[in-house]
Amino acid sequence: MSRTMIIEESKNAFIEALFQLLKSESFEHITVKQLTLESGYSKRTYYRYFKTKTKILDIAFCKYLTSYHDYLLKSSITPDTIPKHFLEFIWPHHDKIELLAKNDLLVPLLTRHIQTIIALLLNVNVPWRKGSLNNQHYEYMLTYSIGGFGVLMDTLFKKSAPLSPDQISKALSRALKEIAIQVDMK
């Protein structure tokens, strides 16, 4: 096994350990000792890759974000399918998102990475972005959209039985269409 693979394996073990511990402990009460016992790696390994528990979340988020970018590049995206694509991608991880939301970690995580998310989304070619607005305008729109969507996801996942992905997608699509109608009327 290559050194890079060994490093990734140990980072993934700490990521999984953190999410496992979040099932029974609050984020604030999870200790480095618990993380090392749960992951099977030493304290030294923990501090080599993570200075804080928050860094574990940041690294996990960046991994998912890279995967999401790759997923979007392979998808045929229209304004109507944005919620569907997003939910299809995140739903296999909804248990982890629920843990983040219930520990009040989801919105701060999104906030810390907003510029990275925007850069990633601007890197995906979509037909409606050609020409009319400059990137600064899209950055504002994306910041606004991501913030609202992040708060919505946080709210939905704090509930004990969130809606199904299809229900959420349909509701979001209807809301986006209603917003578009209101904007066109003005």
CB 132 within 8 A of CB 55: no
| Residues 106-165 pLDDT 10s | 999 999 999 999 999 888 887 777 665 677 888 888 888 888 888 888 988 887 666 788
d(CA 142, CA 131): 16
CA 107 vs. chain centroid, Å, equals 10
- pLDDT single digits (tens) 72-81: 989 888 877 8
Read off the pTM. Answer: 0.85
Q: What is the pLDDT of residue 69?
A: 92
Residue 46: which of 82, 18, 21, 80 has the closest Cα? 18
CB hemisphere CA count around 137 (13 angstroms): 6
- Separation between Cα atoms, residue 170 and residue 167, nearest integer Å: 5
Q: What is the DSSP string of 9-37?
A: HHHHHHHHHHHHHHTTS-GGG--HHHHHH
The mean per-residue pLDDT over the stretch 153-178 comes to 78
Q: Is the pLDDT of residue 186 over 60?
A: no
**Which one has a higher pLDDT value, 34 or 137?**
34
**How far is the C-alpha of 131 from the C-alpha of 116, rounded, in Å?**
23
Per-residue pLDDT band for 184 (boundaries 50, 70, 90) equals low
- What is the chain's alpha carbon radius of gyration, rounded to the nearest angstrom? 19
Q: Where are the alpha helices (DSSP H) in 31-164?
A: 32-39, 43-49, 53-73, 82-90, 94-102, 106-112, 114-122, 135-158
What distance in Å separates the CA atoms of residue 61 and residue 38, rounded to the nearest whole number? 20
Average pLDDT over residues 16-35: 97
